[in-house]
Each structure stands twice: as C-alpha cells, then as structure tokens.
Amino acid sequence: MTSLGLRNGTRCFSRNVSGAHRLSQACKMSRRCCVRATALHIDRRSGLESAWRRQEEAEARQERFTTDIAEGNLITVPDAAGLDTVIERAGSQLVVVFLFSRQCGVCKDAAQRFEQLRNEAHRAKARVVFVQHDVETDYGDKSDLSRLYNVRAVPCFLFFDGGAVVSTVSAGSPY
C-alpha cells in the first residue's frame, strides 16, 4: 500500500492504492495548524480592511471639519480625537466648545443661545469656531472628552486659544 501525500488548501490528503482519499496520519495531527493558518490570513485581511476603512473615515471627517470651519458652521465632535482635529485645523482662531447632555433642560436653553451666538459671530465674520459635544455616550457613561477635561456639571463651555484651554465656564448643577 503506497500513499502519495497531497496538500489541498487547508487539508492534507493521502491516496492509497485503491484510490480512496483519507486524511494522512501527519495531517490529523497538524490539521489544527492548517486551519489556524487560514483563519489568521482571513483575520489579517479583515483587520487591514477595517483599518483602511477607519483611515478613510478619519480623512473624510478631517475634510468635513475643515469645510465647516471655513463656512462657520456649528461642528459636532464625537470624541477627543475629533476635538483635537478641529483645534488643529482652526489654527489661531478661538475655539468655543459647548458640552451638554441630552437629558438636561438647562442645556437645551443654552444650546439655543449658543446657536444664536454662532450666527452673530458668523455674520460679524469673527474668527471663532463653535463646537458642541454630548458628554454622555450611548451607554450612559461619561465621554472621553468630559473625562479628559474633568467636566463635573453641564452645560459647560471650554475656550481654546492656540490649542490650550484658556477658560472653563460651567453650571453648578451636576449631571
């Protein structure tokens, strides 16, 4: 009984004289290695694809932030990385960040006044960038931005000049 060892994808087959395929003894022991190698290749590919997608999304977000700054629009940032991008793109302009919570009634009133200030500044062609951020995540936790700047109560306003926090104005009621 002679056997010829063949390797097909992730499995090793042997063919005996009668022509029947069977897994070789060596392959039975290394079968897991073959399957793992294929799975590693698939995981690496999907990992690279997701990293590429995240990079494209980040570039599109940076482009959108640049456009919004130039047009004087109100910018909503999802996280600290987004705020860093806006501050970097703003250059020497003053950046005013409005931190709010969706459940806060005072925040809703402050948001309306914040929008009015943005409109007035845009009409006056002031060199100010207006940014807003919700301090609560979808799961009810504090956002990374609120933890980074130690926000204890909302509404809270952060003023950035040249990339550094110049002033912080916050309400007295904790959220």
pLDDT digits (tens, 9 = 90+) for 95-152: 999 999 999 999 999 999 999 999 999 999 999 999 999 999 888 899 999 999 999 8
- Rounded Cα gap, residues 70 and 84, in angstroms: 17
Give mean pLDDT, residues 61-89.
91
Q: Can you tell me the distance from the alpha carbon of 127 to that of 55, in angstroms, rounded to the nearest whole number? A: 30
Query: Residue 156's closest CA among 143, 169, 174?
Result: 169
What per-residue confidence (pLDDT) applies to 29?
A: 52
**Cα 124 to Cα 31: distance, rounded to the nearest angstrom:** 71
User: pLDDT at position 42, please?
Assistant: 60
Q: d(Cα 123, Cα 117) in Å, to the nearest integer?
A: 10
For 84-94, the pLDDT digits (tens) are 999 999 999 99
Burial-class residue 155 by CB neighbours within 10 Å (0-12, 13-18, 19+): buried
**Mean local confidence (pLDDT), 60-80:** 91
Structural domains in the chain, CATH included, are 4-47 (no CATH), 72-170 (3.40.30.10)
Residue 174 — pLDDT band, cuts 50, 70, 90? very low
Rounded to whole angstroms, the Cα distance separating 133 from 52 reads 26
